[in-house]
Structure 1
């Protein structure tokens, strides 16, 4: 079983990563700011323009530690990994499945059905917990229409229709997202989902959390021997982690969206921690990113009842469990893939 607190996030823009024996060093202004043994890590994620020494890169490859580089917006730039591991037979079958239209449609429908159901659950909780504060009529209408799309999804065998329904359901869901924000409404609101770059604080927050979730899912898929780039709903594109994006769909509402709303409503995120650029792009400052990373790591330690295993597990292990279930399905050990449905 993997540790939960095994990812080192580097947010200092002037940081430099170096090696000292079996230790990873974080340097800034020629001073060592942080030191950690490499055997305590499974991943290092650098935001901004942090550099890394060749010695550190060699150590990470040698010890199986993934070194990822992202922009200050959270856009993935590249990653350094060691030798490809995993079951070659499993990967070959995965590749064959991605070329099979009926299989790709079936799995794509599973991912998106869970995304729609989990999104409805987020809206339903707001109606249940805050009926006097939120617009219950609007949210109820959105949930009703999302349920209709879930039924339409079940009846289609066309991948393009699946993608279209996913987009419509996402637009519906985010049209009611402002209702979930109960505090700091003047500073935290969204006019629909936007990214690359995000144009408001809520979208900046969501984009950052989705980036963290991507990293978790990629690591989970690689840990069970699957290729994160060979997806079913998201098609092949150079550098695109298509399978990770597939699996992420079902996890976004519970992992990222709920955490974003919670941080805003509990005043744990300050609007002054967001920088608005001349082009309208909104990014978080270093302090806010650190606060968010701490909240993310704490969130991963929360326990839930896994809907398929019917066992209590830490939330941070859910991506690994879903990756394991998907691998078992592809191998033939499970008749179908059981997506994550939040209860």
Structure 2
């Protein structure tokens, strides 16, 4: 359970919600683990199949409190809200911003600064912890270039220029990625990012991880009423969840790249967990996919302190919190969108 920005997050998959007076009661089995006044909340987000009583859902609808349900693995199931919910106004403003390059740039700038900052952190962490096992000069040079790109992005208001600088920063970062692989170098050598299809074990892991993270961002955006298909950085394209791709940019280095490196360097995943298909793409074996997903779920349960909110949350809640912060900014509840800057 977690209370953030007037939102109650229920992360225990065995939790059951019920109504008592003007409060929501959270129970696991026969044990009550929490009871909160409904007046404190604008939203309840529940990662449990056990659900809630109709009485609670009806009360929340009457009070204008949205209730979103997800599977324990983060798949969006459904959302209950009343007919007066303000999401239509939020989405209309989202669409207006998407059509205005200047307004887009203020949000896009923070997305990409967050991504580059966190990419730099990943490089710095390896340099700090394993300085004798890596090419320190190469990594320090890359960090300096990333700092320069951040400064350039902060000085421009053009989304197109930001796209170009982000591409250059990504190239600098991935040019160093092989240095971050400390064990199993023969089976997990990184020679550049490739996709559709991935051509080696690491790219197969990265692509799969990014797909999982994208789904988490879609779910987070849906829970706050934003349209995941209309973005500010990624252009509209049929079927493309552009805003989810925008939101995940700053989270890629931390939630996926660092996770993939940990699995490899700790020898939790091995070359036999992959297979090359007839089309020459590299894919997980059934055992490898299960291992990845199991560790992914375990990683999402690890607690951290959110750098902006200064509250303890699980890693898996980060995309939902960032979606909520983005919605708050679009509604003018806060002055700017605060990217997730890990320290």
Q: Are residues 1:158 and 2:154 paired?
A: no
Q: What TM-score do you get using the length of structure 2 for normalisation?
A: 0.78
Range with greater deviation from structure 2 (95-104 or 111-120)? 95-104
1:156-195 aligned within 5 A: 156-195=156-195
User: Per-residue displacement from partner, 1:248-297 (whole Å, max 9, x unpaired)?
Assistant: 00000010000000000011001011111233210001111111111111
Which structure 1 segments of 5+ residues have no match? 7-36, 42-62, 69-78
Distance 1:229 1:333 in 2: 23
Matching residue of 1:200: 200
- How many residue pairs match? The answer is 281
Matching residue of 1:90: 90
- Runs of 4+ displaced beyond 2 Å: 1-6, 37-41, 63-66, 79-86, 277-280
User: Per-residue displacement from partner, 1:171-206 (whole Å, max 9, x unpaired)?
Assistant: 110110011111100000221111000011000000
**Contact map agreement 1:118 1:250 (CA 8 A) in 2:** yes
Matching residue of 2:336: 336
**Contact map agreement 1:230 1:236 (CA 8 A) in 2:** yes
Matching residue of 1:122: 122
CA pair 226-278 structure 1, distance change in 2 beyond 3 A = same
Distance 2:221 2:80 in 1: 12
Distance 2:130 2:10 in 1: 36
Secondary structure of the 2:283 match is strand
1:137-156 aligned within 5 A: 137-156=137-156
Matching residue of 1:76: none
Cα shift at 1:228 = 0.6
Distance 1:316 1:200 in 2: 27
Secondary structure of the 1:156 match is coil
Distance 1:110 1:64 in 2: 29
Distance 1:110 1:83 in 2: 29
Q: What TM-score do you get using the length of structure 1 for normalisation?
A: 0.78
Matching residue of 1:324: 324
Matching residue of 1:238: 238
Cα shift at 1:5 = 6.7
**Contact map agreement 1:325 1:338 (CA 8 A) in 2:** yes
Secondary structure of the 1:184 match is coil
Secondary structure of the 1:304 match is strand
**Contact map agreement 1:4 1:316 (CA 8 A) in 2:** no
Matching residue of 2:213: 213
Q: CA RMSD in A?
A: 2.2
